Structure 1
């Protein structure tokens, strides 16, 4: 049976929590890294890359945490979360077609004077232990800031892995859009926090959704209905993890605590997930 692992967006908290959950489950004998297809959106593009390339997740998170002090003062700045949330409101404007909503947010991102430069995204890539696309199906999502078109990067796209990840993590109004081959791109989460419909064709699907407590359920439900997998399981942060995340999932102080929250939650997930994943 074809299996898919879907890793959603969620900032620093999302990367660390997803890594903790996956590593914790692996310790319990459930290896989500064996998925035939790995789909990463925003934070999930980082975690997905680590998983797809067989990186040591614990070591990778420690490396990010250690590099954060230098990164925070270089290309970092204050994020106006009120402005970010106001801009994202356009994504829920039902009077507009989805692509037009994305285009409008992309236009705002192109015009915005952000407090954080590309430097922080670049250094995120530098602290990853991998540089090359894995020889397996890893899908990384982004959105064209000018047209609103949804883009899926893969090894065959010919785009450097570091740039694909940066574009997928490029939160509008927080970072300037990332340029790739003359086009500028923003976070794949602009379309969906998980883009779980890319798992279509898989018969077993597991979704890790770090922002489940902050996003509408209808989007993921519709995507999974389209996939129609025989076995599926959605993992959302538990109450303890949500408390750790707080209100700023981009906080550089969340690497270790969010990772630990994921590890702790994995212990509770092992048994119900085992039957879904292994059959």
Structure 2
């Protein structure tokens, strides 16, 4: 995974990708709502002296890629950092929130993604073709908005690891400091929901949302680590059936693989959320309040786990 031409890393729960790490933080996808929840949750824990950002690998997917970039840049740990973040958050929200009226080509891509019940290569490639064909806003728009929030052009830490997907090949791509791109470009690539946002160019590959892969967390990158914190929208909210390429048992399978390899897992997520409002700016106040409240409840257990 160390060279730009080797960013294609197969999803593999048996590969032991996390074996060189004692502690790993995994941040999953879930739209604007989950960005706000994760920021509030991690910030409140940091105020209590529990710094999940000290992990030697921080894996971010989709919404989690934005938060992972903030965590590894040290922009969540302090109260003043949170105030700075929340002041800029509306700028990012404006870019990440879908418009009221999507074009037919956008709707085709979005519906194909939403209805996908498997992660076979041909399924992912079909979604990729639709994403490429969708007449969404130009790719730089999302990238610039995320860059304004991150306020950092260089890769913030060797620990930052972002998952995205090649629209043409369907391969899972793992972006690290060696990938040769900015954190804003990597996070934008991982957050480019098919139909809502245009694919982003990374290492001569057009990339789309990291969740178009059969995994909303890419927790296989943590298998082999001793302690793994996973923040996932699916931690307490399981879909009744496969959707968006992800099987309902995907998260259980990943956490079991980590435990089978000798690791311990601290799994948390929002206690409630509505799929229809994940991309709505109106969901932010509720998400922030919920994240902070759950962090207060989890503080003792989190401190014991992370020591």
TM-score range, shorter chain: 0.7 to 0.9
The 1:234/1:79 distance shift into structure 2, 3 A limit, reads: farther
TM-aligned CA deviation for residue 162 of structure 1: 1.5
TM-aligned CA deviation for residue 221 of structure 1: 1.7
Query: Normalised by the size of structure 1, how large is the TM-score?
Result: 0.86
1:120 matched residue in structure 2: 142
- Partner residue of 1:104 out of 126, 129, 133: 126
TM-aligned CA deviation for residue 141 of structure 1: 0.6
Determine the C-alpha separation between the residues in 2 that align with 1:176 and 1:69: 16
2:264 matched residue in structure 1: 231
2:152 matched residue in structure 1: 130
- The answer to whether the Cα contact below 8 Å between 1:61 and 1:259 also exists between their aligned partners in 2 is no
Determine the C-alpha separation between the residues in 2 that align with 1:40 and 1:60: 21
- Partner residue of 2:249 out of 194, 218, 225: 218
Is 1:41 paired with 2:61? Answer: yes
Determine the C-alpha separation between the residues in 2 that align with 1:152 and 1:71: 24
1:201 matched residue in structure 2: 224
TM-aligned CA deviation for residue 138 of structure 1: 1.0
- The answer to whether the Cα contact below 8 Å between 2:69 and 2:150 also exists between their aligned partners in 1 is no
RMSD (Å), alpha carbons: 2.6
Give the SS at the match of 1:164. helix
- Partner residue of 1:146 out of 168, 184, 199: 168
1:52 matched residue in structure 2: 72
Where has structure 1 moved over 3 Å in runs of 4 or more? 68-73, 75-85, 214-217, 253-257
1:88 matched residue in structure 2: 113
Unaligned runs of 5+ in 1: none
Is 1:22 paired with 2:46? Answer: no
Aligned length: 269
The 1:163/1:29 distance shift into structure 2, 3 A limit, reads: same
1:63 matched residue in structure 2: 87
Give the SS at the match of 1:184. strand
Give the SS at the match of 1:5. strand
TM-aligned CA deviation for residue 195 of structure 1: 0.7
Query: Normalised by the size of structure 2, how large is the TM-score?
Result: 0.78
Which 10-residue stretch deviates more, 172-181 or 206-215?
206-215
- The answer to whether the Cα contact below 8 Å between 1:9 and 1:210 also exists between their aligned partners in 2 is yes
Is 1:173 paired with 2:178? Answer: no
1:12 matched residue in structure 2: 32
- The answer to whether the Cα contact below 8 Å between 2:166 and 2:206 also exists between their aligned partners in 1 is yes
* Structure number with higher helix proportion: 1
Determine the C-alpha separation between the residues in 2 that align with 1:46 and 1:86: 24
Unaligned runs of 5+ in 2: 1-20, 240-246
- The answer to whether the Cα contact below 8 Å between 1:7 and 1:41 also exists between their aligned partners in 2 is yes
The 1:79/1:18 distance shift into structure 2, 3 A limit, reads: farther
